[in-house]
Structure formats: structure tokens, C-alpha cells
Amino acid sequence: MHNDTVLTQNEPIARRVLQIQTLTVIWMTLEALVSLASAWIARSPALLCFGGDSAVELLSAAVVLRRFYSPKHEARAEQQAARIAGALLFVLGAFVILTAGLSLAGLAEPRSSRVGMALLVLAAAVMPLLAARKRQLAAITGSAALRADAAESAVCGYLALIALAGLLVNAIWHVKWADPIAALALLPFILREGWEAMSGQACSDDDAGS
């Protein structure tokens, strides 16, 4: 109810939230498509991990966008979407382990991807800016969902840096195991996001601090 009241009383703030979430949905759609396509072409576990996380974050951003577009929308739908996103992250984690294992065993050889590396550089620059803006708007609106989405955007920036490091080492020094190792380094972040999404921990923590 608090969120609904704030949005009703402050339409300019609501428009800002809708704008930043619309921008996030557009960016995450492009990020997921390009990174997953690059992962398929280059057989890159690190890009696969990053692209899968981007797809799940796209779902999260879309849920928050719908929440602010229709303030009376039931919170239960938000929780259900979070649980689905969490389950998808666990599936992604299992797939990353399988893909990285095949690469480390020499059964699949990851190649460098200039498109993938360019995307990761952009993501490392763009996502922290989106996260900072979302935190500001979350503080104004008191929205736990928006704060959680801001945290996911910040994590996406870190994931981009880790994945980029793996791809660069492989591209420059032709160290084939750097890519799958980078993917496995991303795994704890992915699984933590999955656990928090399924358990509602992120939202609960935010609510407690409101």
C-alpha cells in the first residue's frame, strides 16, 4: 500500500521508474540475445553464464516494470516470478557446470569472441549506472522490488568483469581453460541470486530496512 500511495502522489517519480525499467528491459533483451548468441558461436561457458543471468535479470526487470505500471497488481505475482527466476538460475548453474566441465576435459574448445568482449565492456560500464539510478528511485519510493532489481544490476556489472577477464586471457594468451574457469567463478554469484530469489531473502531484507 505504501508504494501505491507514493506513486499516486508523485507521478513524476513513477514516470522516472517506468523510464529506467523500460531502458533496463531493452538493454537486458539485447544483452541476453547477443551474449547467448556469442556463447553458442564461440562455445564460451563464461558468455553462456553471463547471458543466462542476463535473461533472468530481464524477467526481474519486466516484473518490476509491470509492478510500477500497474501499482495495484498483486505482490503474489511478483513473488511467483522471483521463484521462477530463482529456479532458472539453478538450472543455469547446472548447465554452466556441465559446459565448463566439457571444456576443461577438452571435449569442447572455447574460442575468443570480439562481439562478446565488446558487450561485456559495455555491460561493465552501463550496469553500475543503472543500479545507482535504481537505488535512488528505490529510496524515494520505498520499493523493495526496485531495490532488489538494483542489486541484480550491480551484480551484472561484476559478472561482466569476471567473464571479460576469462575471455581476454583466452584471446591474448590462448589459455583455453581461462574461459571455463571464469564461468565457474561466476557460479557462486548465480547460485546466491537464485537462492535469494526463491527464498525471498532480498525482498525481506529490504522490507526490514524500510
* Ranges of the chain whose pLDDT falls below 70: 1-10, 71-78, 81, 200-210
- Whole-model pTM: value is 0.80
What is the percentage of the chain residues whose pLDDT exceeds 90?
41
Per-residue 3-state assignment (H helix, E strand, C coil) for the chain:
CHHHHHHHHCHHHHHHHHHHHHHHHHHHHHHHHHHHHHHHHHCCHHHHHHHHHHHHHHHHHHHHHHHHHCCCCCHHHHHHHHHHHHHHHHHHHHHHHHHHHHHHCCCCCCCCCHHHHHHHHHHHHHHHHHHHHHHHHHHHHCCHHHHHHHHHHHHHHHHHHHHHHHHHHHHHHCCCCHHHHHHHHHHHHHHHHHHHHHHCHHHHHHHHHC
Write the CA distances from 200 to 3, 50, 95, 98, 103, integer angstroms.
18, 22, 24, 27, 34
Task: Give me the pLDDT at residue 38, please.
Answer: 96
Task: Give me the pLDDT at residue 9, please.
Answer: 46
Task: Give me the pLDDT at residue 91, please.
Answer: 84
Task: Give me the pLDDT at residue 137, please.
Answer: 92
